[in-house]
Amino acid sequence: MKLLIKGGRIVNPAKNMDEMGDILIEDGVIVAMGEVETTECLVLDAAGLVVAPGLIDMHVHLRDPGLEAKEDVASGTRAGAAGGFTSIACMPNTKPVIDNSILVEGLKQRAQSEGVINLKVIGAVSKGQEGKELAEIGDMAAAGAVAFSDDGRYVHSAGLLRTALEYTNMFDKVIISHAEDESLAGEGFMHEGTVSAMLGLKGRPAVAEDISTARDILLAEYTGAAVHIAHVSSKGAVELIRQAKQRGVKVTAEVTPHHLTLTDEAVRTFDTATKVNPPLRSEDHRQALIAGLQDGTLDAIVTDHAPHAFEEKDVEFRYAPSGFAGLETSLGVVLTELYHTGQISMTGIITAMAVRPANILRLDAGVLAVGKTADITLIDPEQLWTVDSSNFYTKGKHTPFEGRQLRGKAVAVLVGGTIIMRNGEVLA
């Protein structure tokens, strides 16, 4: 079967391409690009739309296995499709923790039968994510794990992390670090600063992130291995990463839409959707994150999609777990707050949400080219819509963007040339 994406603005940063054109797909593969003339094919009118390589979210909590009341493969991948993603990578902090090849293979098999988009699996660095003993990194890499992380927990043992970096380097994989020293962050509920003092809430100081980021960069530099700093939120961490890149350290980093667009002022409402880890920080930190994204210090935009059951978040702020459902609002928030304000170009957004995540995870994705699998996202940058969590595909219904009118939305997703999502409706 042939499918022609007709007359869209093709934004393809990996090929330095931003131009009007068509894309012809046959049997799930791109067979022609440019001005394409053909007959007897399904035509997808892309007039007024951005045609981009499929978006990739390299930081998602699917909660599967063991925590399916929060999310599972079926609901999470559908939420991803609704948000414009063709691939997502899931973190291993499940029950049981994904720390061996059997669990990696099992999740991959379940994704084939229950998922609707590509699901990549991230394995744990340590057994049980306890930070004491190295997990089965070689076996998990052989089973298809794309990266390794103890996300949700900081690997406190420098010795263990050094050994893990040496192992992952052998398999050309990256360690994704949750860089926040718990001995400093402690039991804090929000960013430590003026707002936390006014609200009477114990804070998590930015220096906890800075110190951890510095250590992980030094270990990556010493071992020659690759490290990726997850959900960067502090201006100190941004500067440390910037300097390390200038020295040639194999360090990459990511940032979330909520850290780019919200500050600790949002916590004044005591809305538990604003409780995240690392916390929403002050405006000076937010501005540093935007600058880091603009100059390439921060490579990727990720959701850190972390859904919880409604009753878990519907409690007093200090008792609520951190995180919220982000897959279905991510692109809209970035377009509204960064693209339409002139702070990030469309090319910059596609680079951060498709090209660099593919490069970091060593995926054959993030580019539109003849012969490549047709994983494609179509975006209407002007579509106005209002966030309504009751319509989410994810099981998580908490979002700090509830009721917000956004400008820009993914309107179609193709995975392997098949239309998976159209106009907000997941078809699979």
Give every strand in the sheet of 118-123, ordered side by side.
55-60, 85-90, 118-123, 147-149, 174-177, 227-229, 251-255, 300-301
Among 64, 150, 210, 304, the one annotated catalytic: 304
Whole-angstrom distance, CA of residue 293 vs CA of residue 351: 11
Residues 6 or more apart from 110 whose CB is under 8 A from it? 64, 73
Q: Give residue for tokens 């978040």.
A: 313
388 in catalytic set: no
Other beta carbons less than 10 A from residue 250's beta carbon: 18
Residues 6 or more apart from 1 whose CB is under 8 A from it? 26, 27, 41, 42
Active site residues: 304
